[in-house]
Structure 1
Amino acid sequence: MDWPVSVALAQAVQTLPIGADLHYEIKVDGHRLAMWRDKETVRLQTRSGRDVTSVWMDLAVAGMQLPAEVILDGEGIVYVDGRIDFGAAQSRANSTPARARRLAGLHPAHYAVFDVLHHPEHGDTRGWPYVRRRELLEHLLEEYGIGPPIQAVPTTTDVDLARTWYDVLQDQGVEGLVIKVGSSTYRGGTRQWRKLRHAETVDAKVVGFTGPAARPRHLAVRLSGGRIRLSQALKAPLAAQVSQLLQGAPPGRRAWTTAGEPYDAVDTDVMVEVLSGTTRHAVVTVTRLR
């Protein structure tokens, strides 16, 4: 399998899907990471394909317990005072390697794994159905005695239990649920899964920006129905995150939003969360990168 791997995505839904062959996973609030166990080391990549091993080095060290040629999909999370803290994970992701080491000393990272994409005996497992991949993942962790900070996310086919998770675990930093079809294969780059979240946000694709790419002021995002809107002014930490992705994109052309505001168009796969209550207006509020 070639680096980086294209990861599967989820489409937001407003109500909990119910039906045959549905599996419900806890959705933790962290940073999406694929873990590659090579022959001599471990590498970690983001959803967009960036190598971020240097800022998640404690997870890379933990991943050395895995056999060579394993590739896992999951979320890097950080606990603060017994609760999953997205802000702490975001701080880690935006750190320099030196600062990341200091943060790891205060709040070590954990890896909430939910899929296995490659296995030393079976090769590429993305064509397997979800239920078979899940069984392989659980067997792998048990066979090699893998425990925290690497741990499989809970999953169930019991819709009542899933509702209970959704209702009572929010205070622990659980963002919601991810719903997967048991017979489904792993299709990177597609929104094949569904997600039900507590936060009233929607996903939007970044199609451009205003200001310099090294310090974007606003993002142009495509909303449902194809509308293009400008975001509110980006705060410095979010602008710094976005700039790392924009500067690697090919130069774009001048374009205009649905309301007529100019922006520099850019072709990326960058997605952001925006507050759903702001999408009816000319300016939307971006909460974070996805």
Structure 2
Amino acid sequence: MTPEPLRASVPEGGYELALARPVDRLPGPGALPGGCLYEPKWDGFRVAVIVTGAGARVQSRNGKDLTAVFAELAAAAADQVPPGYVLDGEAVVFSGDRLDFDALQKRLVAGREIAALVRAKPASLAVFDLLAVDGQDIRSIPLRDRRALLTELARSWQAPLNLSPVTSDPDTAEQWLRDLPATGIEGLVIKGAGQAYAGGQRQWLKLRHRDTVEVLCGAVTGSLARPREVVAGLVIDGELRIVGRSAPLKPAAARMLAAHLNASGDGHPWPELIKSAAMDRFNAGAEPTRIIRVEPVVVEVSADTAFTGTSFRHALRFLRPRPDLDPGDIELPAALR
């Protein structure tokens, strides 16, 4: 396909970025058009970086201008990328050898303190796609060709600009899925080498790494007889804290859990009505949730590797109750120690 001319100005509302839909297992090499390409799923902020003759702009997935928030990335792009190029990637921050999503969130509300945060924990840009080259919109050409152009562009890059790795080998992808979460990588994104770039559409696949962990069921929604969700807790600094909630329980799982639930006494540390953001950061604006407090019981859940502060960022999957385990013996996940 012939690339289309890039419009002189950024599209109204910014560039629509391609998205991914979740899957439960690693797809085979022929699952997507042109064959699968496997990439790390970075735990950061998805951004487009638009380079013009006047400099570079950093745009969020929702079209918000984040140039001031990631000034060091804009400066690096303006210095190392020619005008007329548009990059698609993930802004990330490392603390030691692990990704630090909390450090990114602090930048959004830092105000005048942003410069200090940038100095303390500078961001990096993991680039995995190229949307425009030398003023030409290349979203209509296959990913394999966009990736080849991006690889050539990135040959001379220096930090904080980085080319995100990719593989077409399922065995290597399996190894990444197994090993990389230790650094905070959430899992894998799988793309079709023959796919054009479909902004705003869930054309890719994402597979999150999940671990089996024990948490405390400190409350439920619904009722004791028919619990709807687990409100999960962990003892952190000597205090039982809410760390997330489960996905809705299936009927068999609800019956299994109900058999081990007992209403709490007066000493339970959680209120009956709690802010929804305490359990789910994606529903911070929702109405408070009424919970049924219970005597803490250990439950086994499947959880991904993403945390915000001391909370699981995504819904937990209830697996089974563990009445054989003492609540006082539960260890914190490695990322919270």
TM-score, normalized by the shorter chain, greater than 0.5: yes
1:277 aligns with 2:310: no
Q: Hey, what does 1:19 align to over in structure 2?
A: 29
Whole-angstrom distance in 2 between the partners of 1:93 and 1:118: 27
Q: TM-score, normalised by structure 2?
A: 0.60
| Unaligned segments of structure 2, at least 5 residues | 1-6, 212-247, 249-273, 287-312, 319-337
- Secondary structure of the residue aligned to 2:205 is strand
- Asked if residue 234 in structure 1 is aligned to residue 277 in structure 2, the reply is yes
Q: 5+ unaligned residues in a row in structure 1: which ranges?
A: 201-222, 224-230, 247-272, 279-290
In 1, distance between residues paired with 2:275 and 2:315? 11
Is the 1:78–1:109 Cα contact (8 Å) retained in structure 2?
Answer: yes
The question of 1:54 aligning with 2:79 is answered: no
Letter in 1 for 2:188: L
Matched, 1:158 2:169: yes
Amino acid at match of 2:82: P
Structure 1 residues 237 and 198, CA, compared in 2 at 3 Å: closer, same or farther?
closer
| 1:93 CA drift (Å) | 3.1
Q: CA RMSD in A?
A: 2.5
Question: Does the residue aligned with 1:189 lie in a helix, a strand or coil?
Answer: coil
Q: Is the contact between residue 29 and residue 170 of structure 2 (CA under 8 Å) also seen in structure 1?
A: no
Q: Percent identity?
A: 36
Residue 139 of structure 1 corresponds to: 152
Matched residue, 2:159? 148
Structure 1 counterpart of 2:326:
none
Whether 1:124 aligns to 2:137 is: yes
1:168: Cα distance to partner?
0.7
Distance 1:94 1:137 in 2: 32
The corresponding residue for 1:168 is: 179
Q: Is the 8 A contact 2:38 2:189 kept in 1?
A: yes
Specify the SS of the correspondent of 1:156: coil
1:232 Cα deviation from its structure 2 partner: 5.6
Work out whether 1:105 is the aligned partner of 2:119: yes
Instruction: Specify the alignment match of 1:80 in structure 2.
Output: 95
- Which residue of structure 1 aligns with residue 200 of structure 2? 189
Residue type of the partner of 2:209? H
Q: Supply the distance in 2 between the matched residues of 1:126 and 1:163 (Cα, whole angstroms).
A: 29
CA deviation vs aligned residue, 1:237-282 (integer Å, no higher than 9, x gap): 958x977xx9xxxxxxxxxxxxxxxxxxxxxxxxxx740538xxxx
Larger CA Rg, structure 1 vs 2: 2
Residue in structure 2 matching 1:38, options 43, 48, 52 = 52
Q: What are the equivalent positions in structure 2 for 1:252-267 lying under 5 Å apart? A: none
Matches of 1:198 and 1:172, distance apart in 2: 12
Q: After TM superposition, what 4+ stretches of structure 1 lie above 6 angstroms from structure 2?
A: none
What is the rounded CA distance, in whole Å, between the counterparts of 2:197 and 2:43 in structure 1?
A: 21
Q: Determine the C-alpha separation between the residues in 2 that align with 1:88 and 1:242.
A: 19
Cα contact 1:55–1:101 (8 A) shared by 2? no
Aligned-partner SS, 1:54: coil
What one-letter code is carried by the residue in structure 1 that aligns with 2:317? G
Give the paired residue count: 216
Q: Within 2, Cα distance between the matches of 1:79 and 1:190?
A: 29
Instruction: Give the alignment's TM-score, normalised by structure 1.
Output: 0.69
Post-superposition shift, 1:152?
1.1
Aligned equivalents of 2:126 and 2:44: distance in 1? 9
What is the CA distance between 1:104 and its match in structure 2? 0.7
Counterpart secondary structure, 2:178: helix
Q: Tell me how far apart the structure 1 counterparts of residues 90 and 124 of structure 2 sit (CA, whole Å).
A: 8
TM-aligned CA distance change 1:9 to 1:90, over 3 Å: same
